[in-house]
Chains A and B, each alone.
Chain A
Amino acid sequence: MKIVALSGSQVGSKTRTAIDAAVEILAEKYPEAETTLIDLADFKVEFSDGRNYLDYDGDTGYVTKTIMEADAIIIGTPIFQASIPATLKNIFDLLPVNAFRDKVVSMIVTAGSSKHYLVADLQLKPILAYMKAQMVQTFVFIEEEDFFQKKIINHDVLFRIDRLVEDTVVLTETFSKIREQKEEAYDF
C-alpha cells in the first residue's frame, strides 16, 4: 500500500507538525505501508497551465506523479481566509479530473479559529468528491491551543489522528479488496 502524507501549505508549522504525527503513527503501526511525506514548503511547484501531469518535470512532476501512484493520501491543510490555501488547490488543479478514483483520501485540518470548522466540509470535500475520492468522512480538526513549540500537546488530538490513520488504512484495504472482487467478477 502506497500512502502519501501531503502537507498542503508553505506557511507556518502547525499543518506539518500534525502531518508528522500521522507519519509517525504510520511508521509505527503500519511499517509495511510505503509512506511518502510531501511537504509543499519543500518543493517549487509550478502553477497549473492545463497540461497533462505527465508533461511536468522537476518538483511539479515529482509531486503529481507521486500522488497519482498512491493508494491513499492523508491531506493536511491549514485554513487561510476561510478556505484551503492556494498551494493545495494548485495540486488539485495540476491533476486529472478523476485523479482520486480508486484512492482513499483523509483530512487533517489546522486552524487559528474554531469558526473555520466547516470549511473542510463545505470546500475541501466537494473537490475530493468531484475528483472521485473515497473519503474518510471524519476529519481531524486541530486548533492553535492544541500546539506548543511545534508539538501537539492535546492527547485527544493525538488519539484522533491515530484513529484517522487507522481508518485510512482500513478503508484503503477494504476498497481494494472490494475492487479486486468486483474486477474479477467482470472476467475480462
Chain B
Amino acid sequence: MEKYRIDPDKGLEFGIYTLGDHLPNPATGERISAQQRIQDIIEYAQLAEQAGIDFFSVGESHQEYFATQAHAVVLSAIAQATKRIKIASSSTIISTSDPVRVYENFATLDLISNGRAELVAGRASRIGLFELLGYDVRNYEDLFEEKFDLLRLINENETVNWSGEFRAPLRNAKVLPRPVNGSLPIWRAVGGTPASAMKAGYAGVPMFMAHLGGAASTFKRTIDAYRDAAKEGGHDPAQLPVATAGFFYAAESSQQALKELYPHINEGMKLTNGSGFPKQLFAQGVDPHNIMNIGSPQQIIEKILYQHEMFGHQRYIAQIDFGGMPMDNIKKNLELIGTEILPAIKKYTARK
C-alpha cells in the first residue's frame, strides 16, 4: 500500500470527487457561468481540505454540460490552493490523449503539490470526445488498453522503449519531469461489473470503482472478482488498494436528504445521459444495505462502516455536487462530514 501512498493504520480514507459537470440548478432553472463553476470547484477542494478530507478529484468529460475538460489545469490550481489533501483525476480519458503528455502533466502536478498527485485512467462513458479529439471510436477498447499500458510503463521507467499501434514509437525516450518519489499512484477506473474489475485485477492496478445505486453485496462480487483476478495475475491483492465512489448526501434526516438531492440527480442525468433516475430506485438508496450513502450523518456512518466491513476497501469517495448543487448545500455537507462522519469513520477503522 505504501507505493500508493496509503497507510492502512490510519483507517479508511475519505475523498470527494466531482465530474466537473456544469448543469442548471433544477430549483431555479439557472446555471452559473463556467468561470464560476471552476472557481467553485477550487473552493470546494479547499473546504474539503479544511474539513479534514483526505482526497479530492476532478473528472474529464468533453461534452455539453461539463466545464473541466482541461481537468489537469483545474487540478494544478487546486494544488496551489491546498497544502495537504491528495489530488487526482476521476478520471483521465487516456484513450484519447497521448500518455507522454498526460504523464508530463501529472508528474508536474505532483511537483507543484509536493507529492500529492494521483491519476485515475478511464475509458469514457460518452464517446463524443473520440471525434472531437481525432480518434476512431471503433478502437475504443484497443486505444485504452495500449495507452494505459504505455502510461504505466512510463510511470515505472524513466527511460522508455516502446512501440504500438496508436502512437509513434519511443526510443530511449526520457519522460520528464519525474514525480517527487519517482512514480505516481495510477488507478484504473472500473464501472462496477466484475468483468471490468477483472481487467484491473489481472494487471495488478489499483481499482477506482464508480457506482450508482444497488445492493452493496452486488458490488462485493465485483471487488472479489478484482482480487481473485489480481491473484491469478501473480499480484498480491493485500498490496492493491480499492476505492469506491458514488452519490453521497447528508442532511438532518434521510427524507430531507432525498428531498434535497433527488432533483439534482434526476434532472442532471436527463441532460447528461438522456434518462433520469427513477424515484423508486432512488428511494431505496437510503436503505442500510444500499451502496448510495444518503441519509442522516449517523445513518451514513453506519452505511460506510458496513461497506468497509464487507469490502475491506481503502478509500471511499463521495460525489455531492452533481446537477447544479448550490455551494451552500455542499458546504453544509462538508461540515457534517468534518464534524460527525469523518471522526467516527476514522475512530472505527484506524488501527489504534
A→B interface (CB under 8 Å): 49-55, 68, 96, 98-99, 101-102, 182-183, 186-188
13 interchain pairs, CB-CB under 8 A: A50-B127, A50-B140, A53-B274, A55-B126, A55-B128, A98-B275, A101-B275, A186-B283, A187-B255, A187-B259, A188-B279, A188-B282, A188-B283
Q: What distance in Å separates the Cβ of B325 from its nearest Cβ neighbour in chain A?
A: 15
B137/A49 in contact, CB under 8 A: yes
Q: Which residues of A contact B283 (CB under 8 A)?
A: 186, 188
Contact residues in B for A49 (Cβ distance below 8 Å): 137-138
Indicate if the CB atoms of A68 and B274 lie closer than 8 Å.
Answer: yes
CB distance A52 to B126 under 8 Å?
Answer: yes
Contact call B279/A186, Cβ cutoff below 8 A: yes
Tell me, yes or no, whether B172 is within 8 Å of chain A by CB. no
Shortest beta-carbon distance from A116 to chain B in Å: 33
Partner of B274, one of A50, A52, A188: A52
Instruction: Report whether B274 and A54 are in contact in the complex, using a CB–CB cutoff of 8 Å.
Output: yes
Interface of B is mostly: helix
Contacts of A96 in B (CB 8 A): 274-275
Q: In the bound complex, how far is the Cα of B255 from the Cα of A117, in angstroms?
A: 50
A114 to chain B, nearest CB (A): 38
Q: Are B275 and A51 in contact (CB under 8 A)?
A: no
Identify the closest chain B residue to A49 (Cβ): B137
CB distance from A103 to the nearest CB of B (A): 12
For A188, list chain B residues within 8 Å (CB): 255, 258-259, 262, 279, 282-283
* Shortest distance between the CB of A63 and any CB in chain B (Å): 14
CA distance A130 to B255 in the complex (A): 31
- Cα A54 to Cα B274 in complex, Å, equals 6
Contact status A101-B278, CB under 8 Å: yes
* Nearest 4 A/B pairs, CB to CB: A188-B258, A188-B259, A54-B274, A51-B127
With an 8 A cutoff between CB atoms, is B35 at the interface?
no
Minimum C-beta distance from A50 to chain B (A): 7
Is B28's beta carbon under 8 Å from chain A? no
User: How near does chain B come to A102, taking the closest CB pair, in angstroms?
Assistant: 8
Give the residue of A52, A98, A182, A183 whose beta carbon is less than 8 angstroms from that of B127: A52
Interface residues in B249-297 by Cβ distance below 8 A to A read 255, 258-259, 262, 273-275, 278-280, 282-283
Say how far A83's CB is from chain B's closest CB, in angstroms: 27
Contacts of B125 in A (CB 8 A): 52
Question: Which chain B residues border A101 with CB–CB below 8 Å?
Answer: 275, 278
Contact B258 A55 (CB under 8 A): no
Q: Which of B61-112 contact A (CB under 8 A)?
A: none
Task: Decide if B137 touches A51 in the complex (CB within 8 Å).
Answer: yes
* Cα-based distance from A96 to B126 in the complex (angstroms): 12
* Distance to closest chain A CB from B317 (angstroms): 24
Cα-based distance from A187 to B128 in the complex (angstroms): 37
Please, which residues of chain A bring their CB within 8 A of the CB of B258? 186, 188
CA distance A49 to B255 in the complex (A): 41
Bound CA span A54–B282, Å: 23
- Which residues in B have their C-beta under 8 angstroms from that of A183? 279
Q: Please tell me if the beta carbons of A55 and B127 are within 8 angstroms of each other in the complex.
A: yes
- Beyond the given pairs A52-B125, A99-B275, 14 more chain A to chain B contacts, judged by CB atoms under 8 angstroms and listed by A's residue number, are A49-B137, A49-B138, A50-B140, A52-B127, A52-B273, A53-B274, A55-B126, A68-B275, A102-B278, A182-B279, A182-B280, A186-B258, A187-B259, A188-B259
List residues of B (110-133) whose CB comes within 8 Å of A's CBs.
Answer: 125-128
Considering the chains assembled together, what is the distance between the CA atoms of A101 and B277 in angstroms?
11
